[in-house]
Chains A and B, each alone.
Chain A
């Protein structure tokens, strides 16, 4: 069994480092600052419109590395399989993961597989770790937002979360929405090349959505924010699905979007760069950073009022009426 799995991985992830059959991957890194990030992926359903746990496991970690401004280089992957998990499904996941890694230019160079007893896992869990190098002169961190900075968003929100929810068996509604799951490193590379010193914070608004990402940045930087609801791109299908389920799209997960906080003077030119990239076509300037000792994220509503966009509480729960 283990051998079969190993062969499966080597066959699809195929690269020089993996083919050495060592327990580790040895490589030379260019000079500079090294970034490392790790992320465990547990998701139901394993296959969803627009992706699966394999591609998601690559995108998630590549994006976490890229949000430092780094160029991601290599990935490591750990698989926990539940006994009895269909090998055909595993192969589908590995093929998708290998394709995603290839597209992102981040080969999976080492890995590990464990099998747990039936009932002690949920099909498959995948943990990925990524390393990357931050270019000289780039200084991106969640604590660098300052009053006056502009807040940019790379595209429409909520696609991933709604696609996942629509895929769950107890929610019977059909939709054409697909997950936005994507590796953002090439978009980040374009942005960093265009305005290396002006980008202050990058964050991918995954679990907890845009609202959570903005609150995290506001807290880390000790600032407030004001965003404009009318400028936040949301697909009408996503809006409608959220309306039916009583969810707020600001809190719905994304897997292929980023928030960028940059110096105001550079905002327009950076927006142009983002819009030239396929993953930033619908990018928008959605608000600005303000001084606020409470660290509130506020939103001017499309209706003309103003409200707080608060931290989320656990999972969003649909309302009854």
Chain B
């Protein structure tokens, strides 16, 4: 637990809280978007908001891969899993995401589909090796953090000639989402960003520089521990007070400006940009997601099974789309806590523990 507990210390939190209280300009309001679900989770789980002055507001961003996946893609995955010849391998947090007709992977599994919860892409390869008579499909999701392991698995499958393995690719790109939020027709008032931490270990801090420059927004790459979040908030507040808008790196213990170039090269070798991809809440965004390159088409589940494009509509009244853009808060949604609960989620933000609604409902609703 060394190197983790250090970033959760109460005495340091108190000192930081004091520094923040002394630094904020009481005359202004600070709207900080924490980009990632990991930040949202830390803010709620550790009660970070309690330590911040009233005029510092966290706006929850779209950086939760489970939350931004559109319903149609879950429907696709369920259709794949329902094929008798398929074993679908998925990360566990997708299991409860609502699909069309109140379906979910969890319900499909209960209905007899062979769906396996895995912890790494290596588990999916192992299942493929052990079940040569079955088609093993890996339901790949996530931002730049989880893309390199998918690339490794594809290359390994190719090297081993594992012909029964394929990937249903839903990897998406962080900078595209940031751009979409800033370019929205009715942009949400955001003063500054707490930038992604794990994603930035791969892509580096450089891709954000253009946003700091072009949109005049301070960005601080922020780790996922509660002290990281507070320290980054302080750095953003200082930038705003001083009228600066730069990319700063609070998470310097893991992130460099260039990122992990080996991982980047691997991703470039296996994947290419899709012309566009649908994001829940943000709609169709150009150049925002990846697909397998032609050289690896044999491992592309979309081609192997000819998966249809499904346009699915979200539950009426669900505010997930607006919440993912930062335009609304979970407590603004009429479904929250009435028909939509973690037990019976209507929208994706209530599913993942990183989703703003789940975090708010599980940890924060006592504040009313």
Q: A313-B342, A319-B93 are in contact. Are A307 and B143 (CB under 8 A)?
A: no
The interface residues of chain A lying within 8 Å CB-to-CB of B47 are 301, 303-307
A236 touching B45 by the CB < 8 A rule?
no
| A-B CB contact pairs (8 Å), 27 listed | A170-B119, A245-B119, A246-B353, A296-B366, A301-B45, A302-B10, A303-B10, A303-B13, A303-B48, A304-B17, A304-B47, A304-B50, A305-B50, A305-B51, A310-B363, A311-B343, A314-B96, A314-B106, A317-B95, A319-B353, A320-B92, A320-B142, A321-B38, A321-B65, A321-B143, A321-B145, A321-B146
The interface residues of chain A lying within 8 Å CB-to-CB of B14 are 304
B51 touching A317 by the CB < 8 A rule?
no
Cα-based distance from A298 to B45 in the complex (angstroms): 11
- B175 contacts the other chain (CB 8 A): no
- B235 contacts the other chain (CB 8 A): no
- A318 contacts the other chain (CB 8 A): yes
Main secondary structure on chain A at its contact with chain B? Answer: loop
A303 touching B226 by the CB < 8 A rule?
yes
Q: A301-B46, A303-B46, A310-B363 are in contact. Are A321 and B198 (CB under 8 A)?
A: yes
The interface residues of chain B lying within 8 Å CB-to-CB of A308 are 362-366
B198 touching A318 by the CB < 8 A rule?
no
State which residues 1-52 of B face A: CB under 8 Å: 1, 4, 8-10, 13-14, 17, 38, 44-51
Beta-carbon contacts of B144-180 to A below 8 Å, as 1s and 0s? 0110000000000000000000000000000000000
Beta-carbon contacts of A169-197 to B below 8 Å, as 1s and 0s? 01100000000000000000000000000
Cα-based distance from A22 to B51 in the complex (angstroms): 67
B45 touching A307 by the CB < 8 A rule?
yes
Nearest CB of chain B from residue A30's CB, rounded to whole Å: 44
Q: How many residues of A contact B (CB 8 A)?
A: 29
Q: A240-B1, A304-B14, A308-B366 are in contact. Are A317 and B93 (CB under 8 A)?
A: yes
Residue in chain A with minimal CB distance to B118: A170
- A243 contacts the other chain (CB 8 A): yes
Across the A-B interface, how many residue pairs have beta carbons closer than 8 Å?
97
A307 touching B8 by the CB < 8 A rule?
no
B positions within 8 Å CB-CB of A: 1, 4, 8-10, 13-14, 17, 38, 44-51, 65-66, 91-93, 95-96, 106, 117-119, 123, 141-143, 145-146, 198, 226, 342-343, 352-354, 361-366
Residue in chain A with minimal CB distance to B226: A303
The interface residues of chain A lying within 8 Å CB-to-CB of B342 are 310, 313
Q: A302-B8, A320-B65 are in contact. Are A243 and B49 (CB under 8 A)?
A: no
The interface residues of chain B lying within 8 Å CB-to-CB of A301 are 45-47
A319 touching B45 by the CB < 8 A rule?
no
Residue in chain B with minimal CB distance to A320: B91
Q: A171-B119, A304-B14, A308-B366 are in contact. Are A239 and B44 (CB under 8 A)?
A: no
Beta-carbon contacts of A90-120 to B below 8 Å, as 1s and 0s? 0000000000000000000000000000000
The interface residues of chain B lying within 8 Å CB-to-CB of A317 are 92-93, 95-96, 117
The interface residues of chain A lying within 8 Å CB-to-CB of B92 are 317-320
Nearest first, the 9 A-B pairs at minimum CB distance are A305-B47, A317-B92, A303-B46, A305-B50, A307-B363, A313-B342, A320-B91, A310-B362, A304-B10
Nearest CB of chain A from residue B147's CB, rounded to whole Å: 11
Q: A305-B48, A307-B46, A317-B92 are in contact. Are A236 and B142 (CB under 8 A)?
A: no
B44 touching A307 by the CB < 8 A rule?
yes
A320 touching B93 by the CB < 8 A rule?
yes
A305 touching B119 by the CB < 8 A rule?
no
Nearest CB of chain A from residue B173's CB, rounded to whole Å: 15
A236 touching B118 by the CB < 8 A rule?
no
Nearest CB of chain B from residue A217's CB, rounded to whole Å: 18
The interface residues of chain A lying within 8 Å CB-to-CB of B119 are 170-171, 245, 318
Cα-based distance from A302 to B17 in the complex (angstroms): 15
Cα-based distance from A321 to B354 in the complex (angstroms): 9
State which residues 264-321 of A face B: CB under 8 Å: 294, 296, 298, 301-308, 310-311, 313-314, 317-321
Cα-based distance from A108 to B168 in the complex (angstroms): 53
